[in-house]
Amino acid sequence: MASTCVVGLQWGDEAKGKIVDLLCDQHDAVVRYQGGANAGHTVVADGVTYKLSLMPTGILRQGIDCVIGNGVVIHPPALLEEVEALARQGIAIGDRLHVSDRAHVILPYHLAEERLTEESAIAADHLGTTRRGIGPCYRDKVGRVHGVRVGDLYHPDLFRERLDRIIAYKNRLLTAMLPDFEPFDGRAVADEYLGFAARLRPFACDTVTWLHQALGRGRRLLFEGAQGSLLDVDHGSYPYVTSSNSSAAGIAAGSGVPTRHIDRWIGVVKAYTTRVGGGPFPTEQDNEVGERIRRVGKEYGTVTGRPRRCGWFDAVAVRYAARVSGSTEIALMLLDVLSGLDEVRVAVAYEDDSGGSIPEMPGQLADLERCRPVYETLPGWPDDLTGARSWSDLPAAARDYVRFLSKQIGVPVSIVSVGPERRQTIVIDEGR
C-alpha cells in the first residue's frame, strides 16, 4: 500500500492543491471523488500559475494519470474549457484523464434552480453557494428520477427521450417560480450535450474498474479532496455546507476504492481560518486583523472572486475535522501570512454566552452560532518567513506556534508551507 489522501480540515481553500502537487512524484494517479467546478485549486509551478477547478491537480505532471470519480458532478462545458485552457498553457492531457461514466452531469436547469434558491426572495434561506449548479445536481442524483450520468450521454436516443421529459417537468416548475424564466428547449439542450459528450468520449470510462486494475498493478493513488471537512454535507456546519462528503468520508463512495488501500492521511489547514459564503464562523475577525489576513493572504475566491471571511485558527473545529477525516499528519499552509502581527490567537475551546463550556464542535447550527471562542494568545513574529527552507530557519515564535497547533489538534504537523512555490515548503521530520 502506498496510497494517500489529502483533505482540507477547515472550510475549504486550504491550499490542498500545492500539497497534492508536491506529492505527485510519489504517486501514479490523482483521484477526485466529490464536488465539481465549485472547487478552485491554484498551483504555482516554476513561476507559472495554473487555475484548476474540476481537473485533478496531477494533470500538471506528465506521467500522472488523473481520475474524476463517480462522486464528482460534472459540468461538461466547464470541464472542456479547462482541458482547452491547459492545452493553451502547454499541458498535454493525452490519455491521462479518466472520467467516470457514473458521475452525474450538471445541466442548464441546475443553474436556474440554484438561482431560484440563492437569489429569489421566495427562498427561505440563501447559503451563499458558488452558483455552479452543484447542489441541484446532487439533489437530482439522490432523487433519482431526474439524475443524468455521463454514461447516459452515450445512449443518444434514450438520453433525448428522457431529457425531454425532465425538461418539461423543470420548465413547469421554474416558470411557476421564476417570473422572468425562459423555458429550456429540450432538443437544443440535448444537441448541445451530445456535442459535449462526443468531445469527452476519449476520457469517459468505468473508473472503478480502472482504479482497481491500477491498484492490482501496484499503482499508488492520491485522493484529492475538494472543499474542506467542515463543508461536508454530513459532518460539516449543516446547512452551510456543500452537497457532498468533502471530508475523507467521501473517498470510498465517490471513487469505489475502499479506504483500506490508503496508508497516509494528510489533513491540510491554513495557519488561520477562512470561509466563503454564509454560515457560522466562531473565530471570524471582522476587523483590521481579518482585513490584514485577507490582504496579505490574497484571500479572494478562486472560483467566484468573492472576498473570503478571515479569522484566527480554530483548534476546536480542526480537532473535530481531523477526527472525522482520520488525519494522522497535518500540512500547515500560509504560515508566512501571519508574519508581522504582534500576537497570534488560537481558539482552544468554546463557551456559550453565559460562560458555560462547550467542549466539542456542536452538530446543530443554533448551538454553533452560540459558540464564543476561548483564545490562547501567543507572541507573533516580525520576520518574513517566505525564504525559510528548514525548521531551523523559522523564528522561535513561529516554531512555538506550529508546536502549539500540533498539540491542540492532537496530530503532528509534518509539512509547513511559507509561500505558493514548490520550494517554499518545509518538511518536518526530526530536530523538533
Q: Which is nearer to ligand IMP, 277 or 380 (CB)?
A: 277
- Whether the Cβ atoms of residue 56 and residue 207 lie closer than 8 Å to each other: no
Closest CA to 82 of 234, 177, 162, 196: 196
- In the chain, what is the greatest distance between 2 CA atoms, to the nearest angstrom? 67
One residue of 6, 28, 30, 40 binding ligand IMP per CB under 6 A: 40
Residues 48-67 contacting ligand IMP, CB under 6 A: none
Q: Is the dihedral of CA 99, 101, 104, 106 positive or negative?
A: positive
* Minimum CB distance to ligand IMP, residue 331 (Å): 17
One residue of 38, 207, 283, 325 binding ligand IMP per CB under 6 A: 38
* Minimum CB distance to ligand IMP, residue 355 (Å): 30
Give every CB contact of residue 9 below 8 A, 6+ residues apart in sequence: 228, 229, 230, 267, 268, 269, 318, 321, 322, 325, 327, 330
* Minimum CB distance to ligand IMP, residue 232 (Å): 10
- Whether the Cβ atoms of residue 35 and residue 134 lie closer than 8 Å to each other: yes
Q: Which is nearer to ligand IMP, 12 or 267 (CB)?
A: 12
Using CB under 6 A, which of the segments 33-41, 105-113, 289-297, 334-342 binds ligand IMP?
Answer: 33-41
Q: Residue 417, interface with ligand IMP (CB under 6 A)?
A: no
The pattern of x and - marking residues 270 through 309 that bind ligand IMP according to CB under 6 A reads: ------xx--------------------------------
* Minimum CB distance to ligand IMP, residue 242 (Å): 3
- Whether the Cβ atoms of residue 171 and residue 138 lie closer than 8 Å to each other: no
One residue of 39, 148, 361, 398 binding ligand IMP per CB under 6 A: 39
Binding residues with ligand IMP: total (CB under 6 A): 20
The pattern of x and - marking residues 99 through 128 that bind ligand IMP according to CB under 6 A reads: ----------------------------xx
* Minimum CB distance to ligand IMP, residue 111 (Å): 11
- Whether the Cβ atoms of residue 151 and residue 101 lie closer than 8 Å to each other: yes
How far apart CA 145 and CA 141 sit, in angstroms, is 8
* Minimum CB distance to ligand IMP, residue 174 (Å): 18
Residues 1-20 contacting ligand IMP, CB under 6 A: 12-13
Closest CA to 159 of 122, 189, 200, 119: 189
Residues in the chain: 432
Using CB under 6 A, which of the segments 34-42, 360-368, 371-379, 403-411 binds ligand IMP?
Answer: 34-42
Residue numbers annotated as active site: 13, 41
Q: Residue 134, interface with ligand IMP (CB under 6 A)?
A: yes
Residues 193-232 contacting ligand IMP, CB under 6 A: 226-227, 231
Q: Which three cell numbers stand for residue 241?
A: 455546507
Q: Residue 132, interface with ligand IMP (CB under 6 A)?
A: yes
The residue at minimum Cβ distance from ligand IMP is 277
* Minimum CB distance to ligand IMP, residue 73 (Å): 10
One residue of 3, 129, 229, 247 binding ligand IMP per CB under 6 A: 129
The pattern of x and - marking residues 227 through 246 that bind ligand IMP according to CB under 6 A reads: x---x--------x-xx---
* Minimum CB distance to ligand IMP, residue 280 (Å): 11
Residues that bind ligand IMP (CB under 6 A): 12-13, 38-40, 127-130, 132, 134-135, 226-227, 231, 240, 242-243, 276-277
